[in-house]
Amino acid sequence: MKTLRVLLLGTFSIGLWGVVSVKAASTTRATPATVNIVSHSTTTLQPGTTVSVSLGRIDRLYVSSLTLTGNTTSLTIPGITVDTITWRVANNYKQSFPVVVNVKDPPYNARATSSDNTTAFQTALNALPSGGKLYIPVGEYIVKSQLDINSVNRITIEGENSSESVIKFLPSGADRRLFLIDGGIDNATFRNFGVTNSTTATGTRAFVANVGASQLTWDGVYFTDFNRQGIDLAAGVHYAQIRNCRFLRTRDTTSTFVAIAILAEGNNYVNIQNNRFSQNDVSIQILGGTTLNVLNNTFEEDGDSDNTGIAYNFYAENTNNLVIDGNYFEGNDPNGGSVVILSSTVGSAIQSNFFNGQSGATPKSGIFINLNGAATRTPVINNNVLVDPTTYFFQSTVDVSIGNNYYEFGGSELTNVATILSKINVSTANLNFSDFRNGFVTNVSSNVSIPSNTKFYIDGGSDTYILESGANTIDFYSGGTLSYRITLNGNTSQVATRFSTGTALLPGLTFSGDTNTGVWSPAADTLSGTTGGTERWRVDTSTFQFGTANVKVTNGYAELMDQTLAQIRAITPTKTGQQYNCTTCATTPVCISTGTAVNAFSSMSSKTTACQ
């Protein structure tokens, strides 16, 4: 038994089905009056009067209007299924309660035992005024034809609970839509009931909203076994809310269609939140629109129906400001395709999601996230947990920013650059990878951007990094020690700089654009110079040699190393008393002296011993 109590400070008007029991709280109305009429109105009650309405079934309550006059009047309706309402009103405030139509009441008379309740439901829907509610008690109700919502706005269809108030769709003709929402409908809510397809006929859809409909809400609706779509929002349907629903087995095992739980064909301001998707061909497909949020949903084992047309589980194209946040993906199987595909989207964010490629211990998910389309701009993949894809964590043919993600494969976290790159199929020209997690970079490629004065660690190490230590100053650390510093005014090596030994053709130390000219080391403690790929000089611990065998300087003396090459050309001595000695000439040793003149040689004579 439910009781409605109204404390009045003024006049009121109340209408309802049932018995009205009016009791006076003051001595002026000592005898209670009972009125057995559908509507009762009075202005004779005094301030302080209490009105009690006792009802056997709460769904039979109907209050057309309640006008309260006075100061600080309060109204409380305890235990009502729709809402428990408590408020206080000021002078001349009027509160209207919704009309509630029970689909089982006369003259509608829907019955779980009926072979077809289409007429009962349609008649009840047509009876709803603006702001009214169609109530579906517990039971399974067979409906064989389409139900049209085309007359009034601000209506609600509500069941007692989602698992027990169920409409079983058993279409008898070619029209296989359960609910058709007219394009002129504004503000319709569907809450707490189930819809189930009970036929093997292809092309069944639970809800179709035509272009122009707006402010549609599905809250706590269970969808089961539809083989075309659960919800189909035509292009131009805006401001839709889909929350707390469950979509189970929206799939076509005949592969006639690829079934889609939610199809949004070009809609603005759509929020899909806190839903559960299980064993659907495709969970969500979005074909255009602006400001679309997919938040905190669960996707599990979608694609697991052997439908050969499945290539993804979640697809979006030509969207602006799409946010995929806080969702859980587990064991989705798009036939080796991608769990999520975004094509030609602008401003998309995939963040704070959990991707698990396995169902139990069975690997299923191929590629977690796939980005493509020439019109794609500024996609971001941040703060996700990605575990065990069979192919790639990400795949992208467009510029993408990736950061702060956790990667795991085979039971272990991945931090090695090469290992992570093997699981990311993204061209380095398209990758902006500033993946900071736990204070270090786990993967880098081109176009890296990091905050100032932040250590940029190499390959997950702890003591080898790059640091911007000051304005226009980049430091390189190895083993925790500063090794090299680059500044605007020059570079400084803090430790020895090492080069490859090189060859005469490819010197270890060379110059930009001239790789066969430079310095190299042919042996230990030996340094050589090369021009044009030919050795020109060599220095070791005791000698300095020009060419390969021309002049050798030992202990301050220049020696002609080969008689056939022993020619002194264009030598202008700059000091007197200098001697040039050839000790290995084929004939008698030769001593060449500058004598006392600076600019010419004074003599050349044979010596039996080395020049002194």
Which of 52, 71, 95 lies at the terminal end of a domain, its last residue? 95
* pLDDT reported for residue 480: 80
Same-domain status, 88 and 186: no
The tens digit of pLDDT for each residue in 348-394 reads 999 999 999 988 778 888 899 999 998 999 899 999 999 999 999 99
Same-domain status, 88 and 235: no
Mean pLDDT of the chain: 75
Joined together, the tokens standing for residue 343 give 């094509």
DSSP 421: H
The stretches of 128-219 forming alpha helices (DSSP H) are none
Q: Which helix (H) or strand (E) is 180 found in, with range? A: strand 177-181
User: Within a 10 A sphere around the Cβ of 353, how many other Cβ atoms?
Assistant: 25
Query: Contact, 201 vs 175, CB < 8 A?
Result: no
What CA–CA distance (Å, rounded) separates 550 from 564?
A: 9
Which of 413, 430, 447 lies at the terminal end of a domain, its last residue? 447
Residue 482 lies in a domain: no
148-157 per-residue burial string, b: 16 or more CB within 10 A, e: under 16: ebeebebbbb
* pLDDT reported for residue 19: 29
Query: Contact, 240 vs 267, CB < 8 A?
Result: yes
Residue 85 lies in a domain: yes
Which among 57, 20, 53 has a CA at the least distance from the CA of 35? 20
DSSP 26-94: SGGG-S-EEE-SSEEEES-PPTT-EEEEEES-GGG-----EEE-SSSEEEEETT-SS--EEEEE-TTEE
The percentage of residues in the chain with a pLDDT greater than 70, rounded to a whole number, is 66
Higher pLDDT, 393 or 1: 393
Q: Which band of pLDDT confidence, cut at 50, 70 and 90, is reported for residue 64? A: very low
What CA–CA distance (Å, rounded) separates 350 from 359?
A: 22
Same-domain status, 74 and 186: no
Query: Contact, 75 vs 109, CB < 8 A?
Result: no
Q: How, if at all, do strands 338-343 and 358-359 pair? A: unpaired
Same-domain status, 55 and 189: no
Looking up residue 279, the CATH number of its domain turns out to be 2.160.20.10
The tens digit of pLDDT for each residue in 542-583 reads 777 776 555 566 655 555 554 444 444 334 444 444 544 444
* pLDDT reported for residue 558: 57
Residue 86 lies in a domain: yes
Residue 149 lies in a domain: no
pLDDT higher than 90, residue 512: no
What CA–CA distance (Å, rounded) separates 381 from 363?
A: 23
- pTM for the model stands at 0.63
Residue 203 lies in a domain: yes
Residue 148's beta-bridge partner residues?
A: 180
Same-domain status, 77 and 187: no
Residue 120 lies in a domain: no
Q: How, if at all, do strands 260-264 and 229-233 pair? A: parallel
DSSP 377: B
The tens digit of pLDDT for each residue in 390-434 reads 999 999 988 888 888 899 998 899 877 667 778 888 765 566 665
**Alpha-carbon distances of 565 from 353, 550, 581, rounded to whole Å:** 78, 6, 14
Domain that residue 354 falls in = 182-447
What CA–CA distance (Å, rounded) separates 44 from 430?
A: 79
The 3-state DSSP class for residue 122 equals: helix
Higher pLDDT, 5 or 175: 175
Higher pLDDT, 73 or 256: 256
Which among 447, 342, 435, 419 has a CA at the least distance from the CA of 384? 435
Q: Cα 412 to the chain's mean position, in Å? A: 23
Joined together, the tokens standing for residue 51 give 């009105």
Lowest mean pLDDT among 131-145, 253-267, 351-365, 463-477: 463-477
When computed from its CA atoms, the radius of gyration of the chain, rounded to whole angstroms, is 44
Q: How many domains does the chain have?
A: 3
Which among 171, 237, 179 has a CA at the least distance from the CA of 200? 171
* pLDDT reported for residue 560: 53
